């Protein structure tokens, strides 16, 4: 499996004003730095939890298509954007949404299975089964659970106060309740 980010989040789960308030920073001198730290903290938290926080679009490339396909980076937003296959002569086709069922659970990876009587089509193998999907809690910061947002604020604080240091595991442990343990 290979993943490719198609559309990054349009916003961050923490605003510049929230971060500055949390850091007790009044001046605009560090606005660019703090803005960058917000993005870095979100990316680190998403990596740690194996989740997507704000709506983003991904493509997943598979060499083979098992009957049940797990979709990483929950929560999965349903419906899927598309499922495409590339056959042996290089022809790309889209599988109709009528031929599969999507399970979009917030707390675990999404899943997709063919409907009863349908079988995933034959494809050439190597990166030829392509699922495009949207993941994330929603389009706005308020859609992200408060615990994740609080954890990101703590991570921003650590990054701001300890520039250039490695991040200790204890700092990332605030995300443990949201961590996806499969995929």
What pLDDT is stored for residue 166 in this prediction? 86
What pLDDT is stored for residue 39 in this prediction? 97
The predicted model scores a pTM of 0.91
- How far is the C-alpha of 174 from the C-alpha of 154, rounded, in Å? 9
- Residue 144's region, left for phi above 0, alpha for psi from -120 to 50, else beta, is beta
The whole-number mean pLDDT for each consecutive block of 10 residues of the chain, a chain of 183 residues, reads 96 97 95 97 96 98 95 94 94 96 89 96 91 97 96 96 86 92 73
- DSSP per-residue letters across 35-49: HHHHHHHHHHHHHHH
- The residue whose two tokens read 């999507």 is 102
- How far is the C-alpha of 9 from the C-alpha of 152, rounded, in Å? 15
CATH assignment, 10-50+143-178 = 1.10.3230
């Amino acid at each position: 499996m290979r993943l490719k980010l198609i559309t990054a989040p349009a916003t961050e789960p923490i605003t510049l004003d929230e971060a500055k308030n949390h850091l007790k920073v009044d001046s605009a001198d560090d606005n660019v730095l703090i803005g960058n730290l917000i993005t870095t903290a979100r990316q680190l938290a998403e990596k740690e939890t194996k989740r997507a926080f704000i709506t983003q679009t991904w493509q997943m490339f598979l060499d083979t298509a098992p009957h049940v396909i797990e979709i990483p980076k929950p929560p999965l937003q349903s419906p899927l954007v598309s499922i495409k296959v590339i056959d042996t002569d290089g022809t790309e086709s889209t599988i109709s949404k009528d031929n599969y069922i999507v399970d979009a659970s917030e707390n675990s990876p999404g899943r997709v299975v063919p409907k009863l009587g349908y079988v995933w089509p034959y494809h050439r193998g190597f990166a030829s089964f392509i699922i495009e999907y949207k993941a994330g809690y929603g389009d706005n910061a308020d859609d992200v659970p408060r615990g994740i947002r609080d954890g990101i604020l703590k991570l921003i604080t650590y990054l701001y106060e300890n520039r250039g240091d490695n991040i200790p595991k204890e700092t990332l442990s605030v995300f443990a309740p949201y961590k996806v343990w499969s995929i």
